Amino acid sequence: MPLLPVFDLIVAARPGGLGAFNVIALEHAEAIAAAAEATKQAAVLQISENTVRYHGGLRPLARACLEIAGASRAALAVHLDHATSEELIREAVRLGITSVMFDGSTLDYAENLARTARIAQWCHERGVHVEAELGEVGGKDGAHAPGVRTDPDEAVAFVAATGVDALAVAVGSSHAMHSRDARLDDDLIARLATKLTVPLVLHGSSGVPDAGLRSAVRAGMAKVNIATRLNVALAEAVRATLAGDPALSDPRRYLGPGRDAVQAEVEHFLRLLAEPRTG
């Protein structure tokens, strides 16, 4: 199926949420595509700047994700996640990625706004969807530092000044959580969804329990990013497989179960996020 714009996938998912999943290795991308096909749900394959750094460049993994997404029977998009480098964003667009996130959350408000607006204008001239993150004013820890919350009026002003297409907001989640006990502020989500004209994006969703994700989507969260849960599932499956056969050395024999575990996790989240639409 041809790659679809992220915004179109968000609209099609409503009133459910669109699942967006981070790719670190080829097995992640294959698992996400297979899960989307199995559940008949749309999904986003995301490549973060940290992953680009791990691989020593964007091109190989980006091309693989674009090929996997384009060959899939599911509705998929490829997205550059948490990019702080404008050059990386330009490279992603040149490679054919049509959705990017500029993360200026650690910048002060004025610089975040100015750089986001400049990037959004450049991307829009090329038909690229832009997600941004509104960080704590004057803060260094970003929008997902513990206790930080996005101010609705400030968010409205930020979106109007930058022209972004989606906004990652701080409503109680945190990145890289292994426990699932984060409590989201659904009232704040609802206020943000009412005031803003662009979709809301939840980062750090792995730390939110299923009931919290379901409630957040019903309150107005449109795109839900998940990474850590996939990595935990892969690591547990690989660890168990290797423990069961200490002589095992063929990566296909242990990465295969890891890929299957990631697929199962993605299927779970895709069905969960679709519940507000199908339930």
Q: Which residues pair with 133 in a beta bridge?
A: 168
Catalytic residue among 81, 103, 165, 185: 81
Q: How far apart are the first and last CA of the chain?
A: 27
Query: Is 81 an annotated catalytic residue?
Result: yes
Taking CA atoms, 74 is separated from 29, 80, 157, 241, in Å, by 13, 19, 36, 30
Query: Read out DSSP for 193-244?
Result: HHH-SS-EEE--GGGS-HHHHHHHHHHTEEEEEE-HHHHHHHHHHHHHHHHH
Instruction: Show the tokens assigned to 157.
Output: 């002003």
Please state, in angstroms and rounded to a whole number, the distance separating the CA atoms of residues 68 and 34: 10
b (16+ CB within 10 A) / e for 119-154: bbeebeeeebbbbbbbbbeeeeebbbbeebebbbee
Chain-centre distance of CA 276, in angstroms? 19
Residue 245 buriedness (CB in 10 A; 0-12 / 13-18 / 19+): exposed
The residues that are catalytic are 81
